[in-house]
Amino acid sequence: MNMLDARIPSGPIAQKWDTCRYDMKLVNPANRRKHSTIVVGAGLAGAGAAATLGAQGYGVKCFTYHDTPRRAHSIAAQGGINGAKNYCYDGDSVMRLFKDTIKGGDFRSREANVYRLAQLSTNVIDQCVAQGIPFARDYAGYLENRSFGGVQVSRTFYARGQTGQQLLLGAYQALEEQIAAGTVVMYPRTELQDVVVINGLVRGIVTRDLITGQIDSHEADAVILATGGYANTFFLSTNGKDSNCTAAWRAYRRGALFANPCFTQIHPTCMPLRSDYQSKLTLMSESLRNDGRIWVPKKKDDKRSPREIPESERNYFLEVKYPSFGNLVPRDVAARNIKDVCDEGFGVGPSRQSVYLDFADAIRRLGLDVIRERYGNLFEIYKTITGEDAYKVPMEIYPAPHYTMGGLWVDYHLMTTLPGLFAGGEANFSDMGANRLGANSLLQAVVDGYFILPATVPDYLASVKPEPIDTHHPTFSEAEDEARARIDKLSGIRGKRSPDSFHRELGKIIWDDCGMARSDASLRRALGRIPELREEFWKNLCIVGGGEEVNQALEKANRISDFFEIAELMCIDALDRKESCGCHFRVESQTADGEAKRDDADYCYVSAWEWKGLGQSPVLHKEPLTFEYVPLSQRSYK
């Protein structure tokens, strides 16, 4: 079997999903309760999938390492969710969202999947409104929209700066309904340690109870990973501190291929690093670029306060360079330009590593109340952290690691290369190519969770009919023993360095050498340093306390051990891809004016890596990409 058969239905793109659903096998309602499914993750993708499969009548076990699904990282999403409703009558359509997403991803995503994302976006908005999500509305009660980077229409639905929170509360209520109905059993504070493969099919998982340390097995007919992304490999990122790659990584180690690991998104508008001891970076939502204007002084190292710098001495560099899109160029383009002006010495703020995001014009034009209404909570966050009032002085912002387009390779059914193992939301690589457009990630998580997985998982169950199995199978015991041995090893090292000190150092290597700009030399340097640091980690790690109690240092160390390995794969992937595309900027491959220069002749494929063991070179499999509906072209936002 071709390991990378994407199972894309034939026929015109607009009919592929209908064709696929029509061809699917169904499970009789009376038989559904006989099938067990596991959903790991209770963010938007996981909660949506668990609730919908439960509502269909399947037995679902849902796992999260958080104390409640409401703490999933999805809750942090601020800006909005895309839907091609064309409520603003500004030329939007499913086809346009499809095209914007393909182009935004710099032609490194799969057309069929992206079209489906755009197509289902309209259902998503209806679903969310029916759930009672309090999207912003105008005075007459109609749903409001705003714009995000890389597009020229307003199609982003939002709930002030708390869209993820409101969407997750909707998904959580749907999940709670099924928990009460007894179809979903919830396992909070329980972390996946391994996936279990028996006779070529994924048949369950091994978990660790984060309160007692107990290692357990759970069997199922199919397993869904909806476990989020791996941006925290960088240590400093906009993600929740606990977000990690362990679930996807352990699946990779068991044979699921990992796609495009080097496609990591650095978000342009975040609060800059202010201290070496900082443990997190905070996002200032992209929605702010609707009304905020980005600028730096025209004079290098200008120490005047921003309000003392007259208009004629300001460089609104995005508006100048990209007149069509202005401040709303896509994230990769904005982030690189911000880095460039700072590297050239025009940066502002104490570290000179920031640019201004200024609302003075918008306040003059629209009034303070409108700006407060649109972005009030973001201004409050900014004030809480910096002490500054951004209604009066411009925000200082700088790019930060934010989102990962790479993830487990999945086919059109969102199944990984391990039969029976599915991946949804940020955990898969499915739709974003080399750069995600703003407000498309909540969309993907919701589409995967509510609409795609609840159709494709039953098709798998009806087609494969997995044999009954229980956790006494020796493969479960072996996986449990391995999980225990790993925990014992980590807690038994008794060295001198804390988990965080290793993670911080790893993050700096990856940020410096595989961050916003990568070169052959920087990547080779990182590939030399990461294994050395990993070796020291396994010899000199210090964890206080043991494995049979709440031990957050141990939890961290367990996750960091995987960050080491994924960091290496990110560099291997980035080294292999000698072109620049989207967020993957190889300094050797740029146009005369410094934009990413793709090489479609040699790199128009998805990279899917196969694990071959620690210290062994992973094997690259390629899924060729073809563009039938959006012809390959050089991206231009000018």
Ligand X SMILES: Cc1cc2nc3c(=O)[nH]c(=O)nc-3n(C[C@H](O)[C@H](O)[C@H](O)COP(=O)(O)OP(=O)(O)OC[C@H]3O[C@@H](n4cnc5c(N)ncnc54)[C@H](O)[C@@H]3O)c2cc1C
Catalytic residues: 331
User: Which residue's CB is nearer to ligand X, number 400 or number 625?
Assistant: 400
CB of 235 to ligand X, least distance (A): 14
Q: Which stretch binds ligand X (CB under 6 A): 18-26, 239-247, 331-339, 365-373?
A: 239-247
Among 51, 72, 514, 583, binds ligand X (CB under 6 A): 72
φ/ψ of residue 168, rounded to 5: -70, -35
Applying CB under 6 A, the site for ligand X has a residue count of 45
Among 36, 121, 232, 246, binds ligand X (CB under 6 A): 246
Closest CA to 34 of 471, 476, 468: 468
User: Which residue's CB is nearer to ligand X, number 228 or number 420?
Assistant: 228
CB of 209 to ligand X, least distance (A): 11
CA dihedral 419, 224, 424, 378 (to 10 degrees): -160
Among 20, 35, 38, 65, binds ligand X (CB under 6 A): 65
Place of tokens 């010899």: 539
Q: Which residues within the stretch 266-285 sit at the binding site for ligand X (CB under 6 A)?
A: 283, 285
User: Which residue's CB is nearer to ligand X, number 183 or number 244?
Assistant: 244
Are 358 and 396 within 8 A, CB to CB?
Answer: no
CB of 47 to ligand X, least distance (A): 8
Among 20, 97, 112, 192, binds ligand X (CB under 6 A): 192
Q: Which residues within the stretch 157-176 sit at the binding site for ligand X (CB under 6 A)?
A: 163-164
Residue 62 pairs in a beta bridge with 39, 186
CB of 392 to ligand X, least distance (A): 25
Among 63, 135, 230, 563, binds ligand X (CB under 6 A): 63
Among 66, 336, 374, 635, binds ligand X (CB under 6 A): 66
CB of 494 to ligand X, least distance (A): 25
Please state, in angstroms and rounded to a whole number, the distance separating the CA atoms of residues 54 and 37: 9
Residue 358 pairs in a beta bridge with 293
Q: Which residues within the stretch 102-161 sit at the binding site for ligand X (CB under 6 A)?
A: none
Please state, in angstroms and rounded to a whole number, the distance separating the CA atoms of residues 429 and 234: 19
Are 119 and 14 within 8 A, CB to CB?
Answer: yes
Q: Which amino acid is at 436?
A: R
Binding of ligand X by 185 (CB under 6 A): no
Strands laid side by side in the 314-315 sheet: 264-270, 395-404, 355-358, 293-297, 314-315
- CB burial readout 266-305, b (16+ within 10 A) else e: bbbbbbbeeeeeeeebbbbbbbbbbbbbbbbbeeeebeee
CB atoms inside a 10 Å sphere around CB 179: 19
Q: Which stretch binds ligand X (CB under 6 A): 77-85, 347-355, 480-488, 623-631?
A: 77-85
User: Which residue's CB is nearer to ligand X, number 63 or number 234?
Assistant: 63
x/- binding map, residues 282-311, to ligand X, per CB under 6 A? -x-x--------------------------
User: Which residue's CB is nearer to ligand X, number 32 or number 250?
Assistant: 250
- CB burial readout 328-343, b (16+ within 10 A) else e: bbbbbbbbbbbbebbe
Q: Which stretch binds ligand X (CB under 6 A): 59-67, 107-115, 361-369, 609-617?
A: 59-67
Q: How far apart are the first and last CA of the chain?
A: 45
x/- binding map, residues 609-638, to ligand X, per CB under 6 A? ------------------------------
CB of 406 to ligand X, least distance (A): 13
Among 239, 337, 522, 558, binds ligand X (CB under 6 A): 239
Handedness of CA 598, 601, 607, 610 (dihedral sign): negative
CB of 424 to ligand X, least distance (A): 7
DSSP string, 557-579: HHHHHHHHHHHHHHHHHHHH--S
Among 64, 166, 290, 337, binds ligand X (CB under 6 A): 64
Place of tokens 């476990």: 227
Handedness of CA 175, 180, 182, 185 (dihedral sign): positive
CB of 479 to ligand X, least distance (A): 14
Q: Which residues within the stretch 509-568 sit at the binding site for ligand X (CB under 6 A)?
A: none
User: Which residue's CB is nearer to ligand X, number 297 or number 425?
Assistant: 425
User: Which residue's CB is nearer to ligand X, number 119 or number 589?
Assistant: 119
Are 560 and 543 within 8 A, CB to CB?
Answer: no
User: Which residue's CB is nearer to ligand X, number 117 or number 443?
Assistant: 443
Binding of ligand X by 238 (CB under 6 A): yes
Are 632 and 600 within 8 A, CB to CB?
Answer: yes
x/- binding map, residues 420-459, to ligand X, per CB under 6 A? -----xxx-----------xxxxx-x--------------
Place of tokens 């790199």: 603
Please state, in angstroms and rounded to a whole number, the distance separating the CA atoms of residues 274 and 540: 29
Closest CA to 121 of 137, 141, 103, 145: 145
Q: Which residues within the stretch 194-233 sit at the binding site for ligand X (CB under 6 A)?
A: 226-228
Place of tokens 């999947």: 113
Give 382-386 contacts, CB < 8 A, sequence gap 24+. Answer: 382/271, 382/284, 385/271, 385/282, 386/271
Q: Which residues within the stretch 24-53 sit at the binding site for ligand X (CB under 6 A)?
A: 40-46
Where on the phi/psi map is residue 524: left (φ > 0), alpha (ψ -120 to 50), or beta?
alpha
Among 36, 52, 78, 417, binds ligand X (CB under 6 A): 78
Q: Which residues within the stretch 83-102 sit at the binding site for ligand X (CB under 6 A)?
A: none
User: Which residue's CB is nearer to ligand X, number 40 or number 510?
Assistant: 40
Task: Give helix 111-131 / helix 16-23 axis angle, nearest 10°.
Answer: 80
Among 80, 83, 394, 407, binds ligand X (CB under 6 A): 80
Closest CA to 442 of 143, 120, 179: 120
User: Which residue's CB is nearer to ligand X, number 24 or number 273?
Assistant: 273
Binding of ligand X by 81 (CB under 6 A): yes
Q: Which residues within the stretch 360-419 sit at the binding site for ligand X (CB under 6 A)?
A: 402-403
User: Which residue's CB is nearer to ligand X, number 27 or number 490?
Assistant: 490
DSSP string, 153-174: S--EE-STT-HHHHHHHHHHHH
CB of 358 to ligand X, least distance (A): 21
Report the interface residues with ligand X, using CB under 6 A. Answer: 40-46, 63-66, 72-74, 76-81, 163-164, 191-192, 226-228, 238-239, 243, 246-247, 283, 285, 402-403, 425-427, 439-443, 445
